[in-house]
Amino acid sequence: MSVVAIIGAQWGDEGKGKIVDLLAEKAKVVVRFSGGDNAGHTVINPYGEFKLHIVPSGTFHPGVVCIIGNGVAINPVVLLEEIDNLQKRGVNTSHLFISDRAHLIMPYHILLDGLEEELRGKEAIGTTHKGIGPVFTDKIARLGIRTCDLLNKKGFRSRLSSILEIKNAILTKIHNVPPLSLEEIYEQYCSYGERLAPFIRDTGPILKDMVSRKQPIILEGAQGTMLDPDFGTYPYVTSSSPMAAGSSMGSGISVKQIDQIIGVFKAYTTRVGGGPMPTELKDKTGEFIRERAHEYGATTGRPRRCGWFDAVAGSFSAQVNGFTSIALTRLDVLDVFDSLKICTGYKLNGDILRNFPSDLAILGKCQPVYEELPGWQTPISDIRHHKQLPSQARRYVARLEELLSCPVNVISVGASRDQTIMVKQIV
């Protein structure tokens, strides 16, 4: 391995945290490159079970440098709590660094996220209410505050003062809510800044040195490709790019340096929040998958919508990311079915679409076309070698490889680090 990007290939929650924790054993650096604390990455390893929101999932390996990249939006309260919790549970966080270019989630971002969702009414996106849309809007609108600003109190106060004037005008005149206090936010963020200062730095030189020495680096994605603002089910998307291209932008590692792009797919489909999901099962089977697999959001606890594997969305995702291989997770969840369905096309007005449509009005009318495969009906969580999988499970995986035109190199058969089949060594 040199530089490997781990990318959510569906609508998020594919098991990226588990895969990063596993592969980080052989890495020297793990960089989280996008999103914020809208992410919830579950890791189960000898330290216990963790739900990480901002800290990279490589943090459990002593000696692995963890970087929160410039592409991440940081809520300092959440980050400090996460660091404290890790330390309390015996995890060493002294190898954590925060890019001085990362943007900060401010109290008005969280407030506006909620107020905007309310105004959207029936068309609400179902955001995580973590301030993600507003913070990335401000980044592009050149109204953001970055971690480097916390290191210069005078400059921070002056920037916050002018930005807050704009935000308070929006809060009071458009949303009819009281203004926020400059003093309070300033004092709060100065105290966060003091605690975070030892972690904040220009992370470019660390990465430059590691890249030039060909040290193994993992770029950890958040969310999933179908939530990407460009290629996802817009406007029901998030506000930073979870895709392979985003891994370069959000870390500062050149696209030229990225050697492998691993798409993490769940063996079926889930989605949390609003927006289209062609293979959603609004029936007993969907409920059964949700309960069997405990499909509830790691960040908000909301029930995840569940359905069969969507290979139309999947092959679109594989193509726009250029996956070099796939990590397939949660195959064990399918252990109990006598037959399994894979969506291979969308039926629309008598035609079969094989490409994922951009227009949600069209997508909303699409009916999934399914191919049925036999299930294996035997537990697979204790299997560690591909050839020991039941033939039906191997056939299911092989069919996904065909449909996605990409090899499956990792098969995850349980939530713990060791419940994994390495079909081919990635690192």
**Which residues are at the interface with ligand IMO (CB under 6 A)?**
8, 12-13, 35, 38-41, 125-128, 130, 132-133, 222-224, 227, 238-239, 272-273, 298
**Looking at 282-290, 326-334, 335-343, 367-375, which segment touches ligand GDP (CB under 6 A)?**
326-334
User: Per-residue b/e over 33-67, b at no fewer than 16 CB within 10 Å?
Assistant: bbbbbbbbbbbbbeeeebebbbbbbbbbbeebbbb
Residue 284: count of CB within 10 angstroms of its CB: 8
CA–CA distance, 162 with 407 (Å, rounded to integer)? 52
Which is it for strands 367-374 and 408-412: parallel, antiparallel or unpaired? unpaired
User: Per-residue b/e over 347-376, b at no fewer than 16 CB within 10 Å?
Assistant: eeeeeebeebbeeeeebeebebbbeebebb
Q: What is the footprint of ligand GDP within residues 37-76 (CB under 6 A)?
A: 39-42, 44
15 binds, among ligand GDP, ligand IMO, Mg ion, none (CB under 5 to 8 A by kind): ligand GDP
Of 298 and 404, CB closest to ligand GDP: 298
- Cβ(254)–Cβ(144) under 8 Å? no
Of 13 and 113, CB closest to Mg ion: 13
Site string for Mg ion, 354-383 (x = CB under 5 A): ------------------------------
18 binds, among Mg ion, ligand GDP, ligand IMO, none (CB under 5 to 8 A by kind): ligand GDP
CA–CA distance, 42 with 334 (Å, rounded to integer)? 20
Residue 319: count of CB within 10 angstroms of its CB: 15
Site string for ligand GDP, 265-304 (x = CB under 6 A): ---------------------------------x------
Site string for Mg ion, 40-79 (x = CB under 5 A): x---------------------------------------
Rg (CA), the chain: 22
Beta bridge partners of 271: 305
Answer for which of 3, 333, 403, 410 binds ligand GDP (CB under 6 A) is 333
Q: Is the dihedral of CA 156, 157, 162, 167 positive or negative?
A: positive
Residue 403: count of CB within 10 angstroms of its CB: 18
Of 298 and 410, CB closest to ligand IMO: 298
- Cβ(56)–Cβ(32) under 8 Å? yes
For position 82 contacting ligand GDP by CB under 6 A, the verdict is: no
Answer for which of 4, 5, 11, 13 binds ligand GDP (CB under 6 A) is 13
278 binds, among ligand IMO, ligand GDP, Mg ion, none (CB under 5 to 8 A by kind): none
Of 243 and 389, CB closest to ligand IMO: 243
**Out of 21, 41, 53, 228, which one is annotated catalytic?**
41
CA–CA distance, 296 with 402 (Å, rounded to integer)? 30
Residue 149 is a catalytic residue: no
**Looking at 160-168, 191-199, 325-333, 391-399, which segment touches ligand GDP (CB under 6 A)?**
325-333
Tell me, what DSSP letter sits at residue 26?
A: G
Match 């939006």 to its residue by tokens: 73
**Looking at 33-41, 83-91, 249-257, 305-313, which segment touches ligand GDP (CB under 6 A)?**
33-41
For position 13 contacting Mg ion by CB under 5 A, the verdict is: yes
Residue 385 is a catalytic residue: no
What amino acid is encoded at 200 in this protein?
Answer: I
Closest CA to 103 of 75, 141, 127: 75
130 binds, among Mg ion, ligand IMO, ligand GDP, none (CB under 5 to 8 A by kind): ligand IMO
- Residue ranges that bind ligand GDP, judged by CB under 6 A: 8, 12-18, 39-42, 44, 298, 329-330, 332-333, 412-415
Q: Could you give the residue numbers annotated as active site?
A: 13, 41
